[in-house]
Amino acid sequence: MSDHSNISENLTSQNLTDLIQKVESVLDAKVTLDEQNFIQEIYVLADKSRGAKQIVRDIETAAAVEFDIELDHRKISVVQLSDKEEFIDKNSENRLILHNLVMEYNGRKCRISVELSDDNNKYHGDSEGPGSEKNQNRLVAQATLKAIECNDGFDSIFSLVLEEVSLFDFAGEKVALVAVSLVRSTSEEFLVGSSLVRKDDKEAVARATLDAVNRRLKYLK
C-alpha cells in the first residue's frame, strides 16, 4: 500500500470522488490536488445519520481496499447538514418529493392520501385505519411507502415495511423520525429518515419517510 496520497494515471481525482460518494451518509464530495498531483484536501458533505469520525474511517478503508492508497485523515474535512431535506443531490435523478397530503375522517376511521412527484410523474398512496393521533402518523408513513412503491420501475422483489414512527424534541426542535425495513428475498436492510417539523407533524412524517428511502431509490429499480 502506498504511504502517501498520490493520484496516479490509473487513479484520477474523479475516481476517488466517485468512490467517496458511495460511502454511507455521504451526500457529495470534492477532491483537490496540489501541483505535484498529491491530494491537498478532501471535502465531504454528509448527513447526520452517522458520526464524522466513522465516515472518515470508512473513506480511508474504501480507498485502501479499492485503490491501495493510504489517505491522511487530517486532509478529510466533513461537513454535516443539520437538515437533510434542504439538500438536493445534484447527481440524483427523479428524486421524489412530497406534493400533497390529504386526511379524511369517517367516524373513528382515518384515511390518508399521499401524492409524491418527481421530474416527470406523480405517484399516489393511500392508507386507512383507526384515527388515533399516534396511528395517524403511521398511516401517513404507510401511505408514503405505498406511493414510493408506485414509482416507475420500482422492482417488485423489494418490499418496504414500516417499523416505527416517532416525534420527539431535540436541541429545541421537534423532529420526526421514521424507520423502514427494505426487505429482499435473501436480505434485509434497516433505513432511518428524519425531518424537522416546521408547520405540520404529518408532513414531517411523510418527509422523514422519503428521507429514509430516497437515497436508495436508484438501487430499487
Q: State percent of the chain over pLDDT 90.
A: 32
Task: Count other Cβ atoms within 10 Å, centred on residue 69.
Answer: 19
Residue 157 has pLDDT above 90, yes or no: no
Question: What mean pLDDT do residues 148-175 have?
Answer: 80
The whole-number pLDDT of residue 88 equals 38
Residue at grid coordinates 460511502: 23
Note the pLDDT tens digit of each residue in 95-124. 788 999 999 998 889 999 999 988 788 999
Assess whether pLDDT exceeds 90 at residue 125: yes
pLDDT at 3 over 50: no
Give me the CATH code for the 13-81 domain, please.
3.30.300.30
For 99, half-sphere exposure in the C-beta direction (CA atoms, 13 angstrom radius) is 17
pLDDT the model gives residue 130: 93
Residue 94 falls in which region: left (phi positive, over 0), alpha (psi -120 to 50) or beta: left
Domain ranges of the chain: 13-81, 97-219
For residue 90, the model assigns a pLDDT of 42
Q: How high is the pLDDT of residue 86?
A: 40
Decide if pLDDT at 219 tops 80: no
Mean pLDDT of the residues in the chain: 82
- For residues 33-39, give the mean pLDDT: 82
pLDDT in tens, 176-198: 889 898 888 777 888 888 888 98
Helix (H) or strand (E) holding 126: strand 122-130
Per CATH, domain 97-219 is 3.30.160.270: yes
**Whole-angstrom Cα distance, residue 151 to residue 52?**
33
Predicted model pTM: 0.58
